[in-house]
Structure 1
Amino acid sequence: MSTAGARAARAASVRVAETGADADRAPVVTGLGVLSPGGVGVEALWRVCRTGEGEFREVTHFDVSRTGTRIAGFVPAEPGAPAPGEAARLPYLLHRAVTAALADARERTGVREVPTALVLATTDSGGCPGTEVWRAWSEGGRSHPNAGWEPYGAPVVDGPVVQVGNASAAGATASGVAADLLRDGVVERVVVCGVDTVTETAFHGLASLRTLSPRGCRPFSTRRAGIRISECGAAMVLERATAATAPGYARLRGWGSSNEASQAARPDYEGVTKAVRRALADARTEPGLLDYVNAHAAGTRHGDIAELRALDEVLGDRLPKVPVVSTKAALGHCQGAAGTVEAIMTVLTLARGDVLPTLGLEDRDPRWDHLNLGDRAPEAPPSVGMTISCGLGGSNVAVVFSRD
């Protein structure tokens, strides 16, 4: 069968269980916006995931001398932007990302005044009341008095405003919450935004858990020893699939979660397995149709093992044929925004038909030599992809996307 024929067959198989109104239950991704250590925009994101040439430098806005590591990932400086450590930094990243995503959606679908919700994913505990800030602005056209910033652009949010904070799984959970809002008919458009900055609380908290590595994130490596945190603002616009919606980047087919781990800072494969199976069931997609995985794979000693074992449980003999990629080697760990920016990379991979490799595989763990970690071209451009996120406390989330 030709590549085009195989692609069409897979797409038809994904839709085989959908008829009538069910076909409209898979939301469409219509807009993307991101500020990452690679720079501003999706092209900068794609470039840094290809080359690894991001903005990683010493933390200077608080004391890190006793943590064992001094480096973090930052969005490159822009004229007039609040600096790391300033109260306005997180709202700035939030609004730049959301405004860019909504502008992208408007360009694709046209200006449509429809009920719109915001689902905000963050682990920030530094006093930035994200949902209060957004509500004050969207309802009154003004900034929140405690935020120290002014809004950038003027998108309208007239639906629910929900904040999700389940650690590193927050961004993926936010995508699932957004999908449920759309599938249940609560609103017609949802903006999912994952945003976090490099804060003293998070940095020292992770250092106390011995989670930070001075060598950075090295997924699937024999020398993996922990994470390097980064800041990021990433936004994705999801809309109900209606006749008025132009073709988007991809569709969000389903999601699943579990809350299961035997140790707070270490995922267990059983919990990850449940999240993956539940996501595929919600997406009405057989495991054999999955042909791309953007793994959580933060480069921790036990986390990478648990995740790949879970995928082996679900995919079995097919796993070596499925590219399993981690973008954290390029981006660092974007904390609560990780699930959102990795969902964006999954969507871009499906839309572009190009699989970027996991960087830093020069010393890959030999037990995974039989796997495709993005370093081998797939048999055909992927049509069905999954992103997986794992958070402190045993939170595991998987989200399934398809190209059409």
Structure 2
Amino acid sequence: MTARRVVITGIEVLAPGGTGAEGFWNLLAEGRTATRGITFFDPTPFRSRVAAEIDFDPREHGLSAQEIRRMDRAAQFAVVAARGAVADSGIDLDTYDPYRVGVTIGSAVGATMGLDEEYNVVSDGGRLDLVDHRYAVPHLYNYLVPSSFASEVAWAVGAQGPSAVVSTGCTSGIDSVGHAVELIREGSADIMITGSSDAPISPITMACFDAIKATTPRHDDPEHASRPFDGTRNGFVLGEGSAVFVLEELENAKKRGAHIYAEIAGYATRSNAYHMTGLRPDGAEMAEAIRVALDEARMNPTELDYINAHGSGTKQNDRHETAAFKRSLGDHAYRTPVSSIKSMIGHSLGAIGSIEIAASALAMENNVVPPTANLHTPDPECDLDYVPLVAREQLTDAVLTVGSGFGGFQSAMVLARPERRAA
């Protein structure tokens, strides 16, 4: 039996500097940065005081007062993005068997912001040893269990098929979409609403990354603090956001005349079984994920037109990733443009993988490679074509997007135009 081919027919993005897929893409194409000093709380006690925040009013995005009360910020992002993706796809879900419509949502840290805020309330600012539950939001349990994200999205779109939350750290956003693709390929679902969401900019999250010195202390210049592949980089910038897609089988999309952004041609994930935060310098595990994703897509490395890098802005990651591209793509790694959008919108942990899939699909849509902002002084050990500062117009028919996460997670996905892959 031939596996069904899966395509993206709807995209919605909530990201710093430009909510909505169009605003998001405009920011990337123009090379603008959305990183700034933290405004959600007083960051003075922290080592890193910069982040990429979204100016988000849930009421302006159609959420009711009850929905706002019930859902954490990250869940609100996911629901708004899901509704937007369904609208963008033009699909009428009421005409499909609801048991054949599924949901997978990725999240690294769940409702961290809501839990942090509510603990502050029930403990009276940390003064009570025994917290007083009477002051908690009524739906606090939903904040505790990340599965509520998938439930909320399923309710919002009327999906009664397979439903799950995928939480694999910073690769959650790729892995959730990869899981959705497999559900369609194997015949368990016909339509999948999939993506990821995280809203981690809270005191507890900043403290966690301060402890391991992973985030940048460059708070005196927040607009230029995120510097992937640059020799002066000193850590990543925390972000937030969501991207959600409508996935469906290729023939169904053609039959209903849907606009097809890209086919998800290949996906793979591997683990280094090595260290919670450390990476092997040779990039072997990421290279293996890339190799398997290309094999699944039945594509050669020379067919790739662009690589959307993980590019977190830490020396360890950037050098590991550079080694992985060389190891998996050979000489073609030197001929393939690479960029990191984290230079503009920060690192939204579990959400970023889906946001980068959206960037990859939109790069194909517009035949433009987004730039790596703030790349003025290239690291000599990162000697590939990392597209500095300014977007590049280029025919882009096939894209590799990758993710790397604490715990050793390494994931890769190949997007391609269906007609090119068929040829």
TM-score tier by shorter-chain length is 0.7 to 0.9
* Contact 1:214-1:228 within 8 A present in 2 as well: no
1:65 aligned residue: 44
2:247 aligned residue: 238
Counterparts of residues 196-207 of structure 1 (less than 5 Å)? 196-197=198-199, 198-207=201-210
Q: What is the CA–CA distance in structure 1 between the aligned matches of 2:172 and 2:107, rounded to whole Å?
A: 6
Counterparts of residues 33-72 of structure 1 (less than 5 Å)? 33-72=12-51
2:151 aligned residue: 135
Tell me the alpha carbon deviations over residues 240-264 of structure 1, each in whole angstroms, 9 at most, x when there is no partner: 1224353410000010111105332
**Aligned pair partner of 2:89 in 105, 109, 112:** 105
Q: 1:371 Cα shift?
A: 2.5
Return the letter of the residue paired with 1:351: E
Q: 1:61 Cα shift?
A: 4.1
Distance 1:206 1:85, change over 3 A: farther
**Aligned pair partner of 1:186 in 181, 185, 188:** 188
The answer as to 2:234 corresponding to 1:225 is: yes
2:55 aligned residue: 76
Q: 1:345 Cα shift?
A: 0.4
The answer as to 2:339 corresponding to 1:325 is: yes
Q: What is the Cα-based RMSD across aligned positions, in Å?
A: 2.7
Distance 1:323 1:86, change over 3 A: farther
Tell me the alpha carbon deviations over residues 12-47 of structure 1, each in whole angstroms, 9 at most, x when there is no partner: xxxxxxxxx63x622010000111102211111112
Q: 1:86 Cα shift?
A: 10
Q: 1:199 Cα shift?
A: 2.9
Q: What is the CA–CA distance in structure 2 between the aligned matches of 1:122 and 1:110, rounded to whole Å?
A: 25
Counterparts of residues 131-280 of structure 1 (less than 5 Å)? 131-132=147-148, 134-135=150-151, 138=154, 154-197=156-199, 198-215=201-218, 216-243=225-252, 244-245=255-256, 246-260=258-272, 262-268=274-280, 269-280=283-294
SS of the equivalent of 1:256 reads: strand
SS of the equivalent of 1:220 reads: coil
* Contact 1:267-1:390 within 8 A present in 2 as well: no
* Contact 2:35-2:345 within 8 A present in 1 as well: no
**Aligned pair partner of 1:381 in 395, 399, 421:** 395
2:130 aligned residue: none
Q: 1:301 Cα shift?
A: 0.9
Return the letter of the residue paired with 1:31: G
1:400 aligned residue: 414
Q: What percent identity do the matched residue pairs reach?
A: 28
Return the letter of the residue paired with 1:305: R
SS of the equivalent of 1:40 reads: coil
* Contact 2:228-2:342 within 8 A present in 1 as well: yes
* Contact 1:320-1:372 within 8 A present in 2 as well: no
Q: 1:178 Cα shift?
A: 0.7
Q: What is the CA–CA distance in structure 1 between the aligned matches of 2:325 and 2:150, rounded to whole Å?
A: 38
1:30 aligned residue: 9
Q: 1:136 Cα shift?
A: 6.6
2:370 aligned residue: 356
SS of the equivalent of 1:363 reads: coil
SS of the equivalent of 2:157 reads: coil
Distance 1:374 1:281, change over 3 A: farther
* Contact 2:403-2:410 within 8 A present in 1 as well: yes
**Would you say how many aligned residue pairs link Structure 1 and Structure 2?**
367
Distance 1:394 1:181, change over 3 A: same
1:91 aligned residue: 75
Distance 1:213 1:161, change over 3 A: same
Q: Give me the TM-score of the superposition, normalised by structure 1.
A: 0.83
Q: What is the CA–CA distance in structure 1 between the aligned matches of 2:153 and 2:406, rounded to whole Å?
A: 32
